[in-house]
């Protein structure tokens, strides 16, 4: 008799949420892997650089991926940094998370910035960022004369405490 855990794993695979996203490989993306999850539990897909770039300290650049996508309506792709690049080299995505809208059809480029102290080489085929497909909820505004009271009220930056340097 199968264990409950094996049955749960089997059923979760069968009912896993998966959204089909059309992807087009551009000529300079030929030979590169499509974005992929590195592990079974990964939330983001690693995306590869389609060009060589040398990024000076403080430098920013939109790295080509050689891919274009058609994201279904009601979704976005969020572009997030890779933690290893950020920790080890100070290379990250400056507008984190970046958003790719469902109506964009141009090349997917990853804006990267080098916060490190040395030049950083990006080579064609390097994993440079993560892509997370996420649902989008659109807001409608309701203009009112006043807002409900809360314990926090209008307390802003640092008002909830927990940071010694802020004196709280």
Say how far apart CA 25 and CA 17 lie, in whole Å. 24
Give, in degrees to the nearest 5, the angle at Cα 134 between 124 and 101.
Answer: 70
Say which CATH architecture domain 43-138 belongs to: Distorted Sandwich (2.70)
Say how far apart CA 155 and CA 141 lie, in whole Å. 23
Overall pTM > 0.85: no
Question: How many residues are recorded in the chain?
Answer: 168
Question: Could you read off the pLDDT of 53-104 as tens digits, one per residue?
Answer: 999 999 999 999 999 999 999 999 999 999 999 999 999 999 999 999 999 9
Domain ranges in the chain?
43-138
């Amino acid at each position: 008799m199968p264990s409950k855990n094996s049955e749960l794993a089997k059923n979760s695979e069968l009912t896993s949420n998966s959204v089909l996203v059309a992807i087009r490989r551009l000529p300079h993306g030929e030979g590169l892997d499509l974005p992929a999850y590195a592990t079974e539990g990964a939330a983001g897909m690693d995306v590869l650089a389609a060009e060589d770039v040398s990024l000076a300290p403080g430098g920013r650049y939109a790295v080509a991926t050689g891919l274009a996508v058609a994201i279904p309506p009601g979704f976005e792709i969020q572009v997030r940094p890779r933690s290893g690049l950020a920790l080890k080299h100070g290379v990250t995505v400056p507008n984190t998370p970046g958003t790719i809208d469902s109506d964009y059809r141009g090349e997917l480029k990853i804006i990267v910035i080098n916060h490190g102290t040395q030049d950083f080489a990006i080579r064609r085929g390097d994993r440079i960022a993560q892509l997370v497909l996420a649902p989008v909820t659109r807001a409608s505004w309701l203009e009112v004369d006043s807002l409900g009271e809360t314990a926090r009220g209008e307390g802003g930056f640092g008002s909830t405490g927990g940071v010694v340097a802020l004196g709280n």
